[in-house]
Structure 1
Amino acid sequence: MMMQEQIREEAGGTVLFDASRAPAVGADWFDPGYWRGRGALQTQGGGRGGVAVIDTLAGACVLRHYHRGGLIARFNRDSYLWTGAAHTRSFAEFRLLAHIASLELPAPAPLAARYRRHGLSYTADLITRRIDDARTLAQCLADHRLDADLARETGALVARFHREGIWHADLNAHNVLVTPQALYLIDFDRGALRKPAEAWRLANLARLRRSLVKLGAPERIPDFQAAIWGPLVYGYERTMGA
């Protein structure tokens, strides 16, 4: 289905949406209370992402409010410096996901994005289609389901994005989703299209490795380097060279 990008200005913010999937998206779509009142709020989680799962006319979706992380979050919870609509976190991620969808790469399809400007700052939200029956690579590790085959598939997944010049700003085991049918990358906040270069590709892989190490993979899996990381790199290199 060809995306039909539309923008709507409302008192509750500026909304960018895919009219081919949802012909009428308003600012109220970004309020979990709106979905709760309609009996369409499945779950609402905490954490930095402020994620809610909602039932929309376009199907089950994930609603995420952008929150800051790190030390700055102690003083500034969710505001970002205004530098123009196209540079807002939500609009940028929406359009990157739309590009990814046009390449038929496995990532959540974007449904709608919003920003609310407050003078020199703004807040932002994003709605994407939910990926069903999924668990993260981190959960697979914790459940002792990360093996050489899954590692190879993970490497191949990352390579497919890298071949198209897609850089993931936070490539870690929590942002790889595993379903019975396929693997997906999620959370492309601050992601970007980059010119082919070995340096950023290797840095991206190194970030993923640090994530697995931080989650205790070397302690959980005997000979982690040969049993998991070697197959992952093999799957990556084989796909990059295909």
Structure 2
Amino acid sequence: MTEQRVEEGAGGTILFDAARIPQVDADWFSPQYWRERDALRSQPGGRGGVAIIDTPAGEAVLRHYRRGGMVARLLGDRYLFTGARRTRSAREFRLLVELCRRGLPVPPPLASRFVRHGMRYSADLITARIPDAATLAERLADGAFNAALARRVGELVARFHREGAWHADLNAHNVLVNDSGLYLIDFDRGRLRTPAARWRHANLARLKRSLIKLGARDAAGDTFDAEWWPALMEQYERSLHA
């Protein structure tokens, strides 16, 4: 069971799972803090500001929220503050708690933080790391994507859609695969919605565009449209109505 606790201080407002971590302070959200303790395992580039850290609660992923696109040049990592519960970090933390409670395969949330900067705020999130996992994009690049894996992805998405769980950016980078199963990560701006065919189909279309953009159609030729995607959709429909 999750034990949500809030701590407020000069370093920001922190929401954390006290059942997993008895105490969290602002240092937890600093990659430099973990680097100085030889606990920063990696810090890949990219807009997400992601770092892999070795915490007392186990290996975790620290993500700093950053904007993308043209607006990033103006606002960078700042968001308009409209209330503590409406910050992106707190909303994602609580959504992950609920998805975990429903038994859906997501990384358990450990802690989140936001820091006020006048009328704006910056934010961070720490989640448990899924061990020995590769993204679906990496599996595609390695030539390991096939009809069997496509079916598993279709089943995965259907599990979330049955619960009304909408992923705002369903793409091949946000699907993880390991020996234990498949997972969805990065639920920033995600939410629980009333089940409806329109948003479900839009979610799937976004995933398909991602796979094509990453070269699935180029790598497989006609096989992608004739076998892989139909296999995904067939298993999705079967699982959705199971």
Q: TM-score, normalised by structure 1?
A: 0.98
Alignment partners' CA distance in 2, 1:7 and 1:87: 15
How many residues align? The count is 241
Match of 1:131 in 2: 130
Q: CA deviation at 1:199?
A: 0.4
**Identity across the alignment (%):** 62
Letter in 2 for 1:107: V
The 5-angstrom pairing of residues 89-108 of structure 1 reads 89-108=88-107
Partner of 1:86: 85
Q: Runs of 4+ in structure 1 displaced over 3 angstroms?
A: none
Matching of residues 1-242 of structure 1 within 5 Å: 2-223=1-222, 224-242=224-242
How much does 1:227 deviate? 1.8
SS at match of 1:17: strand
Any idea what SS the aligned residue of 1:9 has? strand
Amino acid at match of 2:195: P
Which residue type is aligned with residue 234 of structure 1?
E
Separation (CA, whole Å) in 2 of partners of 1:158 and 1:194:
14
Q: Point out where structure 2 has 5 or more consecutive residues left out of the alignment.
A: none
Q: 1:235 offset after TM fit, Å?
A: 1.2
SS of 1:108 mapped into structure 2: coil
Superimposed CA distance per residue, residues 4-25 of structure 1 (whole angstroms, 9 cap, x where no aligned partner) = 0000001100000000000101
Distance of 1:186 and 1:125 partners within structure 2: 15
* CA displacement at 1:222 relative to structure 2: 2.6
Instruction: Report Cα offsets for 1:127-153 as digits up to 9, x if no partner.
Output: 000011111111111111000010000
Secondary structure (helix, strand or coil) at the match of 2:75 reads coil
> Which runs of 5 or more structure 1 residues have no equivalent in the other structure?
none
Give, in angstroms, the shift of residue 39 of structure 1.
Answer: 1.5
Q: Distance in 1 between matches of 2:134 and 2:76?
A: 28
Which TM-score applies when normalising by structure 2?
A: 0.98
